[in-house]
């Protein structure tokens, strides 16, 4: 088995964000096929507040970095 590191070959990648409401850490799946710059809303799994997620693909680390803010 060969490890797949390119987002183009993997449709779903795990990434985390810190809830802007309660500060708890959430895990989410980023759809890598949607591109390296994404924006969508996901509810916090702890406090259920909607977080606006700004998703950026970091080529240096090969991971998605997410910044969260409240709507």
Where on the chain is the footprint of Zn ion (CB under 5 A)? 19, 21-22, 24, 44, 46-47
CB of residue 70 vs Zn ion: minimum separation in angstroms? 9
CB of residue 41 vs Zn ion: minimum separation in angstroms? 13
Question: In three state form, how does the secondary structure of the chain look?
Answer: CCCCCCHHHCCEEEEEEECCCCCCEEEEEEEHHHCCEEEEEEECCCCCCEEEEEEEEECCCCEEEEEEEEC
Residue number with CB closer to Zn ion (32 or 44): 44
CB of residue 67 vs Zn ion: minimum separation in angstroms? 15
């Amino acid at each position: 088995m060969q490890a797949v590191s390119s987002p183009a070959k993997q449709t779903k990648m795990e990434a985390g964000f810190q809830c802007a409401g309660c500060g708890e850490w959430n895990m989410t799946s980023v759809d890598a096929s949607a591109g390296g710059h994404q924006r969508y809303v996901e509810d916090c799994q702890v406090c259920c507040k909607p977080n606006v997620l700004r998703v950026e693909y970091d080529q240096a680390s090969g991971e998605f970095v997410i910044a969260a803010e409240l709507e």
